[in-house]
A and B are shown apart, each in its own frame.
Chain A
Amino acid sequence: MKPDVYHSLGLSDQEYQNILKILKRKPTKTELAMFSVEWSEHCGYLRSRKWLKILPKTGKYKTLIGEDSGGIILDGLAIIFKMESHNHPSQIEPKQGAATGVGGIIRDIFTAGARPIALLDSLRFGSFSQAYNKYLFRGVVDGIQFYGNCVGVPTVGGEIYFDKSYTGNCLVNAMCIGIAKKDKLVRARAIGKGNPIMYVGSSTGRDGIGGCSILASHEFKEGEEKRPTVQIGDPFTEKCLIEATLEAINTGYIVGIKDMGAAGLTCCTSEMASAGNSGMDIELQAVPRREENMEPWELMMSESQERMLVCIKKGKENQIKKIFLKWDLNASIIGKVTDDRLITIRDNDKIVAQIKAHSLTKAPVYDMPYKKPRYLRKLNKLELSKILEPKDYNKVLLKLLAAPSITNKAWVYEQYDHMVQTNTLVLPGSDAAVLRLKGTKKAIAATTDCNSRYCFLNPYRGAQIAVAEAARNLICSGAHPVAVTDCLNFGNPEKPESFWQFKSCVEGIADACRFFNIAVVSGNVSFYNESPQSAINPTPTIGMIGIINDINKICSQNFKQEGDVIILLGYCREELGASEYLQEIHNLTKGDAPQLDLKLEQAVQKTALKAIEKGLVNSTHDCSEGGLAVALAECCISNKDKMIGANINKLNYDMRLDVLLFGESQSRIILSCSKDSVEKVRKIALEFKAPFYVIGKTGGRVLRILNDTEELIYLSLEDLSEEWMGALKKEIEG
């Protein structure tokens, strides 16, 4: 075979030689297509697998690690969740790229037998100063609302950041959470010789051919046209598919089921057979299709959406078929399970591919070279004396509140149905989303976090901070952090500097999760996030779930009443590296990521959580981007119907004042509580050895911050709110 044939499918010379060795003959066109998608970086994790093994798989709760998702057991319930990237398709066609990202992650959850109850999205774009980035932003938001609203799963949270490194390669990471009775879970595997294999859902077309291999496993080059590789989403079919699938699983006749996502039919047949140590014999003529004259290799590679493959108990196929037909979905038996461990693909009975299932799913593992980039030595140095101190801190605070990464995102989340299913107890806009578990006293909290500037300047610590901050956000809502899904977005892994970023971040996540005893139950790797201008900042997005034991003990970030005492847990250190302030005000991406002392972090978190669970505090908010000043402003204005001012008159720090106000020291939480509770909170802080400072009081219509006797900030709530609430809409709609 000519090299340009397999090269065009994304296979290297070495990989082609491997294929020859496995088959002991030349591959057919269909076989070559199947190898090319299964061995793509996107499906096969060739370059990342070695490092992913170091992530902890156990934690405080019993974990479940499935083929396509993972979760934890809470009492009799399984909470299943996963985050996945859809970056490259979104960069090319933002609406459909984001929409199908949402659709895909929902399918990963309900194929496990869990009802999807919430979505979160972690999004990253280049600066709004470029029109295309604005187009991407609008398109991605439109895609998420189009799909999520229709399919009836609430979009309850997430994050949106802007950084020039994402120009030319935006990130769309979608996370879905589902719940199931723990004895109703199903695996993605095919077992039992003779059990029928049924294709259900949409028909197969030519959309998305090569999505995972050609699109997702290569970086963007100048002038490339890749739109035909993007799939088109149909949330209505997905909604019907959710109901039909859960109904079918409930019968107990489903042996295994898997979503036909990336690599479509190839992925489903080979991975289900491989997971069950079985084989599969498939007749392509039985595959429902929406286009004429499709070739076998096209059918095997297509990534048409809203399709699944089901392995059914023999003799029960008609009962299952009836359920799917009731929902007006295709349901066609296309083959059966065999015990020869071979994937046999027939077209009109003629064999067009026959490959060992294991050889498709066990893609080669590459040990990639890595090297710390030299530019970091220079970038990590930050001489504070060279940074001009601003004259007017009020102006700086207003500017930060309007900065795209900090400003309120209501313009976005009000376009998402975040209330459907009536479980959302804490609406978007606080530190974490909270969802009740109907029929219990418990709730789950969820958040996504990653500061990629920290990860760029210090990948190991940046990734640790992402874990620590996610946990802190959950704590602030009153939840015990329990498990993580990670979505690892990086540049080209074939470049040693990029790979070093990846390896360091994975190590950071592994170490931080072990420290907090949090399991990593699912995840996804997205490499090749590069445009001709640059690679993206390393972005290991952390999706974290926490458990709230009593829904009456939920906390949120806004101050609740006048005259409450404001407490700061944690230290303000004289550090400014990697801050939003440096970026927005001084246009610098410089310095080191903030320090992180995991023991201090834990002390602060335990104090806040115990204080919440004892019902002592009225609000809790994490200090993150924009530092103390931004966090305090958010506490004042984030409930727009009931804004409450604050007088911060007990700070007394001997350090640069811009650093005090806007530095991003980690492990800090702002609490407010009534006068009577202060001593009780202080005692808890003493118990856990957490730094505890009373810094002021709530009340009035102004945020005022003093250091010693010097007034640094004096701004009306209206001025703060206008910047924070209004900036995004103004930016987008003009």
Chain B
Amino acid sequence: MKFGVVVFPGSNCDQDCFYVTKDVLRQSVKYIWHRDTDLDGLDCVILPGGFSYGDYLRTGAIARFSVVMKSITDFSRKGGTVIGICNGFQILLEAGLLPGVMLRNRDLHFICKHIFIKTENNQTRFTNLYNTGQILKIPIAHNEGNYYIDAAGLKELRDNNQIVFRYCSATGEIGNQFNPNGALDNIAGIVNKKGNVLGMMPHPERSCEIELGSQYGYFIFQSIIKWLNRKRIR
């Protein structure tokens, strides 16, 4: 498989995503500079975490205007696999590739810690190796992860089974006290209607090797590889 990791000025998880795809997943991977337009030959594009353009304005608000975003929009329209992690998720929202917006965390602090999320939909190319309801321990690190969408939008997300991950307790209970940032409906990750674009606040690339404390994120990448392999065989 060929992965591409987008580098905006201020991205700071690009090297982590690159490392995971190359050294842990043993896949081929290249960096995509924010001024690049050529995504040819890529199977999956990763928008990594960080502070694109410093995020001194609203998170992702400037990154959406960068040259590469037009190519990524075309890539996703053609059904290409796109995953936005943390700041990448925020950029996908600003670019309109996913619905909704991000507000500041409920407690108005940056939060970095391991939390738990529940797999709500395992029928996606990102989650096919999980069981429905499976609980994943995985780190978050963000200031703006408080997902919001209007009532109609939320209904649509629910009706189309687009909510992929929800924050939960270690035993899978859903509730305000297990929601780290105040996200509406405890949403931690969603896909677009077509199911080829995933945005998630937790960092799967920080959760691929057991010595880092959890390995659940690994299976998101493995799910993508499995799905792409199957597609190729067909």
Name A's B-contacting residues (CB within 8 A).
Answer: 145, 149-152, 234-237, 239-240, 327-328, 413-422, 424-425, 427, 436, 438, 551, 641
Q: Which residues of chain B in 191-211 are interfacial with respect to chain A, using CB atoms and an 8 Å cutoff?
A: 203, 205-206, 209, 211
CB of B111 closer than 8 Å to a CB of A: yes
A150 touches B54 (CB 8 A): yes
A150-B20 Cα distance, complex, nearest whole Å: 21
Chain B interface size band reads: 20 to 34
Would you list 26 pairs from A and B whose C-beta atoms are within 8 A, ordered by A residue?
A149-B51, A149-B110, A149-B112, A149-B143, A151-B12, A234-B54, A235-B54, A236-B9, A236-B10, A236-B51, A236-B53, A236-B56, A239-B10, A414-B112, A414-B113, A415-B111, A417-B112, A419-B141, A419-B203, A419-B212, A422-B16, A422-B205, A425-B212, A427-B213, A436-B211, A438-B23
Name B's A-contacting residues (CB within 8 A).
Answer: 9-10, 12-13, 15-16, 19-20, 23, 49-51, 53-56, 109-113, 139, 141, 143, 170, 203, 205-206, 209, 211-213
Best-surrounded residue of A327, A417, A641 (most CB of chain B within 10 A): A417
Return the contact of A420 from the options B12, B55, B143, B209 (Cβ within 8 A).
B12
Residues of B within 8 A of A417 (CB): 110, 112, 141
B212 touches A422 (CB 8 A): yes
* Nearest B-chain residue to A154, judged by Cβ: B112
A151-B12 Cα distance, complex, nearest whole Å: 7
A240-B51 Cα distance, complex, nearest whole Å: 11
Give 8 new A-B contacts, CB below 8 A, not counting A152-B13, A416-B112, A422-B206: A236-B10, A236-B56, A239-B12, A414-B109, A417-B110, A419-B203, A420-B16, A422-B205
Residues of A within 8 A of B139 (CB): 419
- For residue B179, give the distance in angstroms from its CB to the closest CB of chain A: 15
B112 touches A415 (CB 8 A): yes
For the residues of B in contact with A, the DSSP-based class is mixed
A415-B12 Cα distance, complex, nearest whole Å: 17
Residues of A within 8 A of B9 (CB): 236, 239-240, 327-328
Residues of B within 8 A of A419 (CB): 112, 139, 141, 203, 206, 212
B113 touches A150 (CB 8 A): no
Residues of B within 8 A of A424 (CB): 212
* Nearest B-chain residue to A242, judged by Cβ: B12
A234-B56 Cα distance, complex, nearest whole Å: 10
Return the contact of B19 from the options A235, A236, A237, A422 (Cβ within 8 A).
A422
B10 touches A150 (CB 8 A): yes
Residues of A within 8 A of B10 (CB): 150, 236, 239-240
A641 touches B170 (CB 8 A): yes
In the A-B complex, the 8 residue pairs with the closest CB atoms: A152-B12, A236-B54, A150-B51, A417-B141, A417-B112, A415-B110, A422-B16, A236-B10
- For residue B102, give the distance in angstroms from its CB to the closest CB of chain A: 16
Residues of A within 8 A of B205 (CB): 422
A415 touches B109 (CB 8 A): yes
A240-B12 Cα distance, complex, nearest whole Å: 10
* Nearest B-chain residue to A328, judged by Cβ: B9
Residues of B within 8 A of A237 (CB): 54
* Nearest A-chain residue to B33, judged by Cβ: A326
Residues of A within 8 A of B203 (CB): 419
A425-B170 Cα distance, complex, nearest whole Å: 21
* Nearest A-chain residue to B17, judged by Cβ: A422
* Nearest A-chain residue to B205, judged by Cβ: A422
Best-surrounded residue of A328, A416, A422 (most CB of chain B within 10 A): A422
A436-B50 Cα distance, complex, nearest whole Å: 21
Residues of A within 8 A of B112 (CB): 149, 413-419
B111 touches A421 (CB 8 A): no
B110 touches A145 (CB 8 A): yes
Residues of B within 8 A of A239 (CB): 9-10, 12, 51
A421-B211 Cα distance, complex, nearest whole Å: 14
* Nearest A-chain residue to B15, judged by Cβ: A421
* Nearest A-chain residue to B203, judged by Cβ: A419
Residues of A within 8 A of B50 (CB): 152
* Nearest A-chain residue to B20, judged by Cβ: A422
A416-B16 Cα distance, complex, nearest whole Å: 17
A562-B104 Cα distance, complex, nearest whole Å: 41
Residues of B within 8 A of A149 (CB): 51, 110, 112, 141, 143
- For residue A149, give the distance in angstroms from its CB to the closest CB of chain B: 6
- For residue A627, give the distance in angstroms from its CB to the closest CB of chain B: 29
Return the contact of B13 from the options A328, A416, A420 (Cβ within 8 A).
A420
Residues of B within 8 A of A418 (CB): 112
Residues of B within 8 A of A235 (CB): 51, 54
* Nearest A-chain residue to B49, judged by Cβ: A420
Residues of B within 8 A of A240 (CB): 9-10
A420-B143 Cα distance, complex, nearest whole Å: 14
A139-B44 Cα distance, complex, nearest whole Å: 41
B211 touches A425 (CB 8 A): yes
B51 touches A421 (CB 8 A): no
- For residue A443, give the distance in angstroms from its CB to the closest CB of chain B: 9
- For residue A439, give the distance in angstroms from its CB to the closest CB of chain B: 8
- For residue B115, give the distance in angstroms from its CB to the closest CB of chain A: 11
Q: Known contacts being A145-B110, A150-B51, is A420 close to B141, with CB within 8 Å?
A: yes
Residues of A within 8 A of B12 (CB): 150-152, 239, 420
Residues of B within 8 A of A328 (CB): 9
- For residue B214, give the distance in angstroms from its CB to the closest CB of chain A: 11
A240-B52 Cα distance, complex, nearest whole Å: 11
* Nearest B-chain residue to A733, judged by Cβ: B107
- For residue B109, give the distance in angstroms from its CB to the closest CB of chain A: 5
- For residue A436, give the distance in angstroms from its CB to the closest CB of chain B: 7
Residues of B within 8 A of A413 (CB): 112
Residues of B within 8 A of A436 (CB): 211
A152-B206 Cα distance, complex, nearest whole Å: 14
A424-B9 Cα distance, complex, nearest whole Å: 24
- For residue A239, give the distance in angstroms from its CB to the closest CB of chain B: 6
Residues of B within 8 A of A551 (CB): 211
A235-B51 Cα distance, complex, nearest whole Å: 9
Q: Known contacts being A236-B9, A419-B203, A420-B16, is A414 close to B111, with CB within 8 Å?
A: yes
A239-B14 Cα distance, complex, nearest whole Å: 13
- For residue B71, give the distance in angstroms from its CB to the closest CB of chain A: 19
A113-B115 Cα distance, complex, nearest whole Å: 36
Q: Known contacts being A425-B211, A551-B211, is A438 close to B110, with CB within 8 Å?
A: no
* Nearest A-chain residue to B53, judged by Cβ: A236
A416-B143 Cα distance, complex, nearest whole Å: 10
Residues of A within 8 A of B209 (CB): 422
- For residue A584, give the distance in angstroms from its CB to the closest CB of chain B: 28
A452-B83 Cα distance, complex, nearest whole Å: 49
A235-B205 Cα distance, complex, nearest whole Å: 23
